[in-house]
Amino acid sequence: MTADAADPKPYHHGDLSRALVEAAERLLEREGASALSLRAVAREAGVSAAAPYHHFKDKNELLNAVARLGFEQMGQAMKKAIEGLATPSERMNAVGVAYVCFARENKALYNLMYDPGRDRDFRADAPQSPDSPLAIVMAAIRENAPPDAALIDIQLSQIAGWCAAHGLAQMAGNKDFDPLKAALGGEKAFFSQVLSHLGMYRGLKL
Amino acid sequence: MTADAADPKPYHHGDLSRALVEAAERLLEREGASALSLRAVAREAGVSAAAPYHHFKDKNELLNAVARLGFEQMGQAMKKAIEGLATPSERMNAVGVAYVCFARENKALYNLMYDPGRDRDFRADAPQSPDSPLAIVMAAIRENAPPDAALIDIQLSQIAGWCAAHGLAQMAGNKDFDPLKAALGGEKAFFSQVLSHLGMYRGLKL
DNA sequence: AAGATAATCTTTACAGCGTTCAAATCCGGG
DNA sequence: CCCGGATTTGAACGCTGTAAAGATTATCTT
């Protein structure tokens, strides 16, 4: 209680930049993406409509900051999901399921992170950090590859696996999948099974 | 030249509903998604801003009509891509590549079709029609499955293949993939190879 | 300590958006 | 011929993103 519960109006908010990002994330999960206007974010943070422009060049830049936060949270959730798993195969499967689950549980945030209509200045999902979702997926697939695999095959498999997880994350809400989900005993099992069936796309046996 | 090049101002436009959808699609590929306002579409069609409301309840409903048109065009492009291909394996690969290619060549339209932020009243991509992109992908994967495969495995593989194609379509613009694309001799080869490597996600040999 | 300078926030303003409503315009059936 | 219903327009409302100018507070220099 040293810096947080200060006076109600410090007039120079202190750390408005962070407060705006947090207000935006709060608004995003409370009211959905359509309610996420710059003015609404400013309102939620208790500040005037023009104040954000001293911390972000654009609405787009504020959304980029929200997305960056989302990538961190997603990476942490995925790391927690593979804690204590022994085999590379188990870890790879858990990473994929965790990826899709996070996307489903934070639908609006995930859509914001990968919105193809926005200018994202940072790399698609901050692959430079080893804790980014993409890096975690890449590592899990690499470590599960056969030891004699060629580098290019590993790379292509990594991309394929990531694309499949991303596609599943976006399509998982499709109502046509409901009977299949029920037959398998829930969404998580459905995600796991879909990812496990990737190989059959080529007509291979499992 | 019987009905198209009529008077410049028929005042009761004749078929404004279709004209609006076409104006929207034109605007979409000329100026991009951010320029696709209802007022801009009306302007492009040479009509007042309130006119669309007698043919579409919403902006959203107009966009749904544009998306429907996009699904038809995409299905036709995919059917043309498998004409004359002999084996199920060839057809499946061509379908996947055609799917991703159409999405890349009509980026704004494809994003509109699968925009997760919009209310889409029709089924995700009109699966009732056998010419819909989803139906074509499903059929190509089914016909390439081993004859003794269980129904549920086929279904899961269909979903997996579709998700992978969709994910690749959205991620294909990632600059990180450029060296790989170059090494393989172009985007089309890259798409084909990524889809062919789906199986390796499970550590299987190709 | 005091005053200058920079950073932050507010107020006001503008153009564009989606949408609604009343008034104007056109078309087909009596 | 004229009337009723469909179509289109014009103006209006509240919302948005963004810019400019003024007010307020923090920081730096001396």
Full residue range of the structural domain in which residue B32 is found: 1-56
- Please give the radius of gyration of chain A, using alpha carbons only, rounded to the nearest integer: 20
- Whether B63 contacts B112, CB under 8 Å: yes
Half-sphere exposure of residue B40: CA atoms within 13 angstroms, side-chain side: 13
Identify whether residues B76 and B171 lie together within a single domain. Answer: yes
Residue A203's pLDDT band (cuts 50, 70, 90): low
Question: Is residue B61 a part of any domain in this protein?
Answer: no
Identify whether residues B96 and B47 lie together within a single domain. Answer: no
Question: Is residue B194 a part of any domain in this protein?
Answer: yes
Mind listing the pLDDT tens digit of every residue in chain B (206 residues)?
Answer: 333 334 445 556 678 899 999 999 999 999 999 999 999 999 999 999 999 999 999 999 999 999 999 999 999 999 999 999 999 999 999 999 999 999 999 999 999 999 999 988 765 555 578 899 999 999 999 999 988 889 999 999 999 999 999 999 999 999 889 999 999 999 999 999 999 998 765 554 44
Rounded distance between C-alpha atoms, residue B198 and residue A205, angstroms? 13
Select from B31, B56, B81 the last residue of a domain. Answer: B56
Identify whether residues B196 and B94 lie together within a single domain. Answer: yes
Distance B26 CA to D4 C1' (A): 37
Question: Is residue B120 a part of any domain in this protein?
Answer: yes
- In terms of Cα–Cα distance, which of A167, A144, A129, A128 is closest to A95? A144
Whether the CA torsion B129, B135, B136, B139 is positive or negative: it is negative
A11 touches strand D (CB under 7 A): yes
CATH number for the domain spanning A28: value is 1.10.10
- Whether B161 contacts B169, CB under 8 Å: no
Question: Is residue A38 a part of any domain in this protein?
Answer: yes
Which amino acid residue lies closest to nucleotide D11, measuring CA to C1'?
B50
- Whether A70 contacts A113, CB under 8 Å: yes
Between A10 and B33, the higher pLDDT residue:
B33
Select from B9, B27, B56 the last residue of a domain. Answer: B56
Share of chain A above pLDDT 90, in %: 79
CATH number for the domain spanning A193: value is 1.10.357
Question: Is residue B63 a part of any domain in this protein?
Answer: no
Identify whether residues B50 and B73 lie together within a single domain. Answer: no
Identify whether residues A44 and A97 lie together within a single domain. Answer: no
For residue range A11-55, list pLDDT tens digits in order.
566 789 999 999 999 999 999 999 999 999 999 999 999 999 999
Identify whether residues A119 and A194 lie together within a single domain. Answer: yes
- Whether A92 contacts A144, CB under 8 Å: yes
Select from A56, A83, A107 the last residue of a domain. Answer: A56
Identify whether residues B97 and B135 lie together within a single domain. Answer: yes
Which pLDDT score is estimated for A198?
87
Identify whether residues B52 and B106 lie together within a single domain. Answer: no
Chain B 46-75 residues whose Cβ is under 7 Å from strand C? 49-50, 53, 58-60
How many domains does chain B fold into? 2
Which B residues, 5 through 44, put their C-beta within 8 Å of a C-beta on chain A? Answer: 33-34
Identify whether residues B101 and B50 lie together within a single domain. Answer: no
Question: Is residue B64 a part of any domain in this protein?
Answer: no
Half-sphere exposure of residue A25: CA atoms within 13 angstroms, side-chain side: 18
Identify whether residues A50 and A73 lie together within a single domain. Answer: no
Question: Is residue A168 a part of any domain in this protein?
Answer: yes
Q: How far is A146 from chain B (nearest CA, A)?
A: 6
Identify whether residues A179 and A120 lie together within a single domain. Answer: yes
For residue range A149-196, list pLDDT tens digits in order.
899 999 999 999 999 999 999 999 998 899 999 999 999 999 999 999
Identify whether residues A76 and A23 lie together within a single domain. Answer: no
